């Protein structure tokens, strides 16, 4: 009898343990901020269920019962839900008319979210719009001050300070009293200008800038779901390029103007010059790039001590004698290469990135917005936002046959030269504290001096061992570094201790 009882209890306990592993959904923001009933609300967060009709969004006005609404299409981080007519019953009514009403939001996925959103992160839902009506935000109160500049709206030509005049915003149908009409974190003026840049073609003759594509603008100041989209293909999202534009204004003294954006989500090369025929040509050359020169000047300052850097060999203990290298000498051959090429039997001549212009990933001599390094920390914008120093998971996704280190070190930011605040610029800093700079551990190709592995040569390990780098694993390339765990966990081993891992490839 006791044995039978144990058999019944054990599966129940296992099921309960499995249930606890499922994380509760979290809502981080919604867009647009003021949707109308019948429109689509996008809920951003994490731990949602991917698919159609698999999540429910719960709306609750304070003092009223909750309303459960089945979502349409969802990803793990985004839910789209059409606001149903039954929400009308819970709108606040003033003077006999329903008005914008805040509804707290919560998500039911595999589990129920821990709590409803705060009012500051909740949508203010409007009544359904009459059929055929056009979005027309209300005019700003003439005696108000939308942008807080001490100039009354009646005398202010740009009430919200988004660099678009109030009169022009009427034609765009954006809100003249809101700097960010669609609530996606990007100003209206920036999205307008980026849309103009994207619409400017290069095959027209004579070439000239095309006007704003008003019927279908991309990026769109009235689309609250496009902040994470990369319209121009430079590997930076619209929101990231907007943040870089703000960074250049605040930190570089750039003028706050829409005449020419320092970073535009409509241009891969936001810095350009017009040729005689009107066509654009990039103007940021890789060689002599001023932000890189700024980083090298910082490193060379005697008070900082990163020019040169002093490094132990991969077979030496961290406390043994070290050798000095230029901070750009990634493969430790004693020279900073201007150009490197290898003659391969299969592929002929293959060019690798020159160390002197390592940030120019495509080696075309010009820097697109993803290759620029706006915060001058030695790491280009792409590497810090989506690449080698953005997060440990990047390495685990690129090198799927290697097990990541158990300590998840923090990544770096593209708009902060010193992401952890220790006084060291991110390229010279050392996320895993193994005494190799982040910029040294960013590329196995650069560190090994070896081109990408041939697709059908998986068994061939890269060489030399110095190329086995990872900025988030202190045991790579040296197991004798000062932070590599001395007694690896045999139950959950990591690179290079996991016998199931295959070592090690160089991917482009």
CB 357 within 8 Å of CB 336: no
- With respect to residue 173, please indicate whether it lies within any of the assigned structural domains: no
State the chain's mean pLDDT as an integer. Answer: 89
pLDDT at 133: 47
- With respect to residue 78, please indicate whether it lies within any of the assigned structural domains: yes
The H-or-E segment that residue 306 falls in is none
The H-or-E segment that residue 124 falls in is strand 124-125
Closest alpha carbon to 331 in 311, 361, 359, 306: 311
- Ranges assigned E (strand) in 32-113: 40-46, 51-52, 56-60, 67-70, 73-74, 78-82, 93-94, 97-98, 101-102, 104-108
CA distances from residue 145 to 167, 256, 363 in whole angstroms, order as listed: 16, 20, 50
pLDDT at 450: 76
Q: pLDDT tens for residues 322-336? A: 999 999 999 999 999
- Rounded to whole angstroms, the Cα distance separating 77 from 49 reads 9
Determine which of 12-21, 39-48, 112-121, 144-153 has the lowest per-residue pLDDT on average.
12-21
pLDDT band at 11 (very low <50, low <70, confident <90, very high): low
- Rounded to whole angstroms, the Cα distance separating 59 from 62 reads 10
Which H, E and C letters describe 83-105, residue by residue?
Answer: CCHHHHHHCCEECCEECCEECEE
State what percent of residues in the chain have pLDDT above 90: 69
- Considering Cα of 274, then 279, then 283, then 287, what sign does the dihedral take? negative
pLDDT at 351 over 90: no
Number of domains in the chain: 2
Q: 10 Å Cβ neighbour count for 475?
A: 21
Between 17 and 505, whose confidence is greater?
Answer: 505
Helices (H), 150-187: 166-172
Q: pLDDT tens for residues 169-193? A: 999 999 999 999 999 999 999 999 9
Q: What is the CA radius of gyration of the chain?
A: 27
- Name beta bridge partners: 341: 351
pLDDT at 310 over 70: yes
Closest alpha carbon to 304 in 294, 315, 312, 313: 294
What CATH number does the domain containing 76 carry? 2.60.40.10
Three-class DSSP category at 450: coil
Domain hosting residue 121, numbered range: 26-125
User: If you average pLDDT over residues 100-119, what whole number do you get?
Assistant: 93
Domain ends where: 78, 106, 125? 125
- Rounded to whole angstroms, the Cα distance separating 481 from 487 reads 13
- With respect to residue 210, please indicate whether it lies within any of the assigned structural domains: no
Domain ends where: 69, 98, 125? 125
Q: pLDDT tens for residues 36-72? A: 899 999 999 999 999 989 999 999 999 999 999 999 8
Instruction: Please enumerate in sequence order all residues whose Cβ is within 8 A of that of 105, keeping only pairs 6 or more positions apart, or say none.
Output: 27, 30, 43, 57, 58, 59, 60, 116, 117, 121, 122, 123
Instruction: Please enumerate in sequence order all residues whose Cβ is within 8 A of that of 253, keeping only pairs 6 or more positions apart, or say none.
Output: none
- With respect to residue 271, please indicate whether it lies within any of the assigned structural domains: no
User: If you average pLDDT over residues 405-410, what whole number do you get?
Assistant: 95
- With respect to residue 499, please indicate whether it lies within any of the assigned structural domains: yes
- With respect to residue 188, please indicate whether it lies within any of the assigned structural domains: no
CB 188 within 8 Å of CB 219: no
- With respect to residue 204, please indicate whether it lies within any of the assigned structural domains: no
Domain ends where: 84, 110, 125? 125
CB 24 within 8 Å of CB 114: yes
pLDDT at 168 over 90: yes
pLDDT at 268: 98
- With respect to residue 180, please indicate whether it lies within any of the assigned structural domains: no
């Amino acid at each position: 009898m006791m044995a039978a009882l144990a058999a019944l209890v054990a599966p129940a306990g296992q099921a309960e343990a499995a249930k606890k592993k499922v994380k509760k959904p979290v809502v981080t923001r919604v867009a647009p901020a003021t949707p109308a009933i019948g429109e689509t609300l996008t809920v951003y967060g994490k731990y949602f269920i991917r698919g159609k009709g698999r999540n429910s969004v719960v709306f609750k006005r304070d003092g009223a019962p909750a309303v459960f609404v089945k979502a349409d299409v969802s990803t793990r981080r985004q839910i789209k839900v059409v606001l149903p007519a039954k929400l009308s019953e819970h709108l606040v009514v003033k003077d006999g008319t329903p008005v914008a009403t805040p509804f707290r939001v919560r998500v039911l996925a595999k589990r129920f979210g821990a709590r409803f959103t705060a009012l500051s992160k909740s949508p203010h839902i409007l009544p359904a719009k009459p059929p055929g009506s056009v979005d027309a935000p209300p005019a700003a109160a003439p005696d108000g001050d939308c942008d807080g500049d001490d100039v009354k709206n009646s005398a202010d030509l740009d009430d919200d300070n988004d660099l678009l005049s109030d009169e022009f915003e009427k034609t765009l149908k954006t809100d003249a009293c809101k700097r960010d009409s669609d609530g996606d974190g990007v100003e209206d003026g920036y999205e307008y200008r980026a849309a103009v840049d994207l619409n400017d073609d290069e095959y027209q003759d004579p070439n000239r800038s095309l006007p704003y594509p008003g019927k279908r603008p991309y990026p769109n100041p009235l689309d609250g779901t496009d902040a994470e989209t990369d319209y121009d293909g430079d590997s930076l999202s619209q929101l990231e390029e907007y943040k870089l534009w703000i960074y250049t204004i605040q930190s570089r003294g750039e003028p706050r103007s829409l005449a020419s954006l320092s970073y535009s989500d409509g241009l891969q090369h936001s810095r350009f010059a017009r040729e005689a025929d009107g066509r654009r040509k990039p103007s940021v050359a890789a060689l002599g790039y001023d932000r890189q020169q700024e980083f090298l000047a910082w490193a060379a300052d005697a008070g900082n001590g990163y020019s040169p850097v002093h490094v132990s060999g991969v077979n030496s203990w961290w406390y043994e004698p070290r050798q000095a290298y230029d901070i750009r000498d990634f493969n430790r051959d004693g020279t900073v290469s201007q150009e490197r090429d290898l003659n391969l039997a299969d592929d002929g001549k293959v060019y690798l990135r020159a160390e002197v212009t390592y940030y120019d990933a495509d080696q075309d001599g010009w820097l697109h917005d993803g290759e620029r390094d706006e915060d001058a920390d030695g790491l280009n914008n792409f590497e810090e936002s989506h690449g080698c120093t953005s997060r440990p998971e990047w390495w685990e996704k690129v090198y799927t046959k290697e097990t990541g280190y158990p300590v998840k070190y923090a990544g770096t930011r593209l708009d902060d030269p010193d992401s952890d605040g220790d006084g060291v610029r991110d390229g010279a800093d050392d996320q895993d504290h193994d005494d190799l700079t982040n910029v040294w551990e960013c590329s196995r190709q650069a560190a090994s001096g070896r081109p990408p592995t041939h697709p059908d040569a998986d068994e061939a390990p890269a060489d030399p061992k110095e190329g086995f780098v990872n900025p988030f694993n202190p045991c790579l390339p040296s197991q004798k570094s000062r932070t590599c765990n001395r007694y690896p966990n045999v139950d959950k081993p990591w690179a290079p201790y996991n016998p199931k891992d295959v070592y090690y490839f160089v991917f482009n």
